[in-house]
Structure 1
């Protein structure tokens, strides 16, 4: 069973569907089964650690030895009460897809 959880942002809020086992630690705002739960932290704060992990991952591949023309980083984000936003797992491990591209220069 899933629940709706609201995260506050600067000018508005965002409501997301969260799996029922991931909602412990939220404070109930609505009444009854259709109630919306309120996240304790702000939306931006919950994404900060994910952003830092993405930045560090990109830094590793932006070195002068590889020197790619383009980098694509793909990962899923899961929201939980205890940790906020976390990198979602695929099977039993965290999941990142990194794609590096090089363009041949005409000589």
Structure 2
């Protein structure tokens, strides 16, 4: 089963579907089954740690040794009441896909 959880943002809110085991720590704002739960904290705050991790990962590939022309970083984000947003795991490990591209220079 899953529940719907609302995070407040600057001028609106976002609703996210969350697995039951990740619900602890939310305050209910709906009544009965199907009620939307209110998250503690703001949506931007819950993504702060994930953003910081993404920045550090990108910085690791933006060096003078590899010097790629393009970097794509893909990972899943899971929302949890206690931790906010976390990098989702695929099986027992965190899931990252990194794609580096180089454009061949004409001679």
- CA distance in 2 between partners of 1:33 and 1:21 (Å): 16
Q: Which runs of 5+ in 2 are unaligned?
A: none
TM-score, normalised to structure 2's length?
0.98
What is the distance in 1 between the residues matched to 2:43 and 2:93?
24
CA distance in 2, matches of 1:85, 1:34: 22
Residue aligning to 1:49: 49
Distance in structure 2 (CA, Å) of the matches to 1:75 and 1:38: 25
C-alpha distance in 1 between matches for 2:103 and 2:3: 46
Q: CA deviation at 1:33?
A: 0.3
Q: Paired residues, what number?
A: 107
Residue in 1 that maps onto 2:69: 69
Whole-Å separation in 2 of the counterparts to 1:74 and 1:34: 32
Question: Separation in 1 of the partners of 2:66 and 2:57?
Answer: 14
Q: CA deviation at 1:52?
A: 0.3
Query: Under a length normalisation based on structure 1, what TM-score does the superposition of the two structures give?
Result: 0.98
What stretches of structure 1 move > 4 A for 4+ residues in a row?
none
Partner of 1:3: 3
RMSD: 0.5
Match of 1:17 in 2: 17
Q: Secondary structure at the match of 1:10?
A: coil
Structure having the larger proportion of residues in strand: 2
Distance in 1, Cα, partners of 2:27 & 2:87: 23
